[in-house]
Structure formats: structure tokens, C-alpha cells
Amino acid sequence: MGDGWYQFALYFLLKKIYSEHEVSIGEGPMRRSFRINNPKQLKNCLDIMLYQKADVHIFSGPILPSLLRDYKRKIIEINKRNAQYALISVSGTSLSQDRVNKIGNFLKEYPPILFISRDEETYKAFYPFIKNIYNGICTAFLVNKTIPTYCFELEKPFFISSFYTEPEPFYSVRNGKDCTVENLQIQRKKTFLRMPYTYTRHFNFLHSQQDEVGNHLIVRTIQGFNPKFNHINFAMPHSFISFNPISYLGVTKSSKFVVSDRVHACAIGLAYGKPVKFSFNTPRAGIFDRMGFDYKSNKGIMYPNMERIDEEYEKLIAVIKKSI
């Protein structure tokens, strides 16, 4: 779902900038999207990205590590028919210098008309190879400015809890305290026999789960799911799942705050002016650094800065209009 948020935000942004042109959402490479490693399965999939044609193709997301594997053929095809392509809100973190050089040299041979990073690590790594490069942001921070969404109310106010790398913690609030992201007490849980969470999550439905804390409901947004694993998907109260990425935005917009180990769950929370608590260490969290959000102190709590988002939004539009 994180992919859907920054992609839809970028799509609506481009439709606004180029309202007199036809702007459509295409497909990405199936091998990357569905993590296909089996040669027979890869041969069987219909990768329509290879057949889609436009005057300008836009690629986004954390695609640089797989650029030479999944996008090289398409970029060469674009170049051969004298079309153009741009990389907007892209990242490639934790790459060795050798891999940076190989990817950079390819981009130098087949240059994009515009390269916009979403974190400074990516910008600094690829600056030597790209003429038209901009130190940009993750477009997930723009969902509130580009995508029409709605608000709703449940029986009680609620906050979002979304975890995928570890069990959801036990929540509590001290007596007499309001249920806020600052007052929320978090007790992390260990997995059974310290086994990887990817296995132990299958047994969540066997355990009692919290329904609410401090007169606030706990809403669990399930971002990555398999419909055949409903014993996982609906193991906890107020679990929300949808095939529509935009529906999740309405849930976040209606919440009070967000607690998550997911980068983009916290990013869209900040985009909607909600305080968030981020509880994971990953290079992809560089999108917060780029926006001036400090997730490394104050126990992972970050507060929205709508003026900063407005400023970056205007800068991004200006850079795109100048180059495309």
C-alpha cells in the first residue's frame, strides 16, 4: 500500500501540472512487484510495462537497486524510439559504491530528463552521474495536497497501530492521562521461542488482543496481506484491509495519531497533520530526515510540519515544470 500512496500522489500531481495532456498510470515490472524468483513463473507472467508507450515515462519508488534488472530493457526501448523518461521520488539506499557506479554509468549512458531523489543518501550517491538532478522528497508526504480523501467517525476516537516486523506491542496509558502519542506507554512483545515474526504471526488469533486503550479504539491497518491468510489479517479487533490504497488515507486522516514500524504509514500520518511514533531502524527512513523530521530522538515521536510540506510541494512543482 505504501507504493500506492506515493504513486497516486505523484499521479494526481502530474495530472494537475499537465491538465491539458493525457496522464495515465502504467504498470511496473512484475518481477519487482511480486518478487518473482522462479524462472518458469517469470516466463509465464505478462509484463505489460514492456508494451506500454508514452512520450514521457515516469518511474518512482525505491527502484534503483533493481534498475538494471527490472528497468534497463524498458529504458533502452524508450531511448530507441526517441521518447523520454524521468525518475521522480526515487531511492537507492545502502548500495555499495560498486553498485552505485554500475547504475550511475547506465543512467549516464541513457540519461533521464529529470532525476528527483526522495532522500539525501540517494541524491549524494547519484549526483556525480546525473546532470539534471534534484534533492527531492517522497511524494507520500503530498497525499493530503493531491488526493481527495474523506473523514469519518467511529464510536470512539481511535489511533492507528500498524506493525509488520514484530508483534504489536501492549499499549497502556497512565491513570488520569489522556490517550496521546506522548502519553501512550508501549511494552514490546517477544515472539514465541524468539522465532521470526513471519512465522509466529500465524498464531496471533490464538491470543487475546486489545480492543482499546484510554477510551481510544486501536485500529490496525494491514498494508501487506494475502487473502488466503485471513487468520492473520483479522486476528485483532478493528483490522482494516482494502484493495484500494486511497481508502487507507481516509482512515489515517480520521485518526488521532499513528504508531507503526512502517515508513509510509508514518509518512502519510504526518502528511495529514497527525503526530506519529516510528519504531523501526531502516535506511528508507531517510525520507524523514529529508523533510526535517527527527525520528531518532524522543522515542521515535515526530510532529507534523505543514508549512514545510507546503514549501517542498511548491518547489517540486517548479522543478518538474522546468524539466518536463
Q: What is the pLDDT of residues 111-120, one digit of tens each?
A: 999 999 999 9
CB 4 within 8 A of CB 267: no
- For residues 16-24, give the mean pLDDT: 97
**H helix runs in the chain, sequence order:** 2-17, 30-34, 39-44, 72-80, 97-109, 120-126, 143-146, 197-200, 230-233, 245-254, 263-271, 286-291, 306-323
Q: What is the pLDDT of residues 124-150, one digit of tens each?
A: 999 999 999 999 999 999 999 999 999
Interatomic CA distance for residues 60 and 13, integer angstroms:
13
8-state DSSP, 110 = S
- For residues 264-278, give the mean pLDDT: 98
Report the pLDDT value the prediction gives residue 194, as an integer from 0 to 100: 87
Report the pLDDT value the prediction gives residue 320, as an integer from 0 to 100: 98
C-alpha torsion sign, points 181, 268, 270, 251: negative
pTM: 0.95
For residue 303, how many other CB atoms are within 10 A of its CB? 15
- For residues 22-50, give the mean pLDDT: 94
Report the pLDDT value the prediction gives residue 106, as an integer from 0 to 100: 98
Using the predicted structure, report yes or no on whether residue 227 has a pLDDT greater than 90. Answer: no
Interatomic CA distance for residues 245 and 251, integer angstroms:
11
* R_g of the chain computed on alpha carbons: 21
Q: How much of the chain is helix, strand and coil, in % rounded to 5?
A: 45, 15, 40
CB 71 within 8 A of CB 107: no
Interatomic CA distance for residues 158 and 323, integer angstroms:
43
Using the predicted structure, report yes or no on whether residue 254 has a pLDDT greater than 90. Answer: yes
Q: What is the pLDDT of residues 159-183, one digit of tens each?
A: 999 999 999 999 999 888 999 999 9
Q: Which residue has the higher pLDDT, 193 or 246?
A: 246
Report the pLDDT value the prediction gives residue 175, as an integer from 0 to 100: 86
All three cell numbers of 54, joined, read 508514452
Report the pLDDT value the prediction gives residue 132, as an integer from 0 to 100: 98
Q: What is the pLDDT of residues 57-69, one digit of tens each?
A: 999 999 999 999 9
CB 168 within 8 A of CB 189: yes
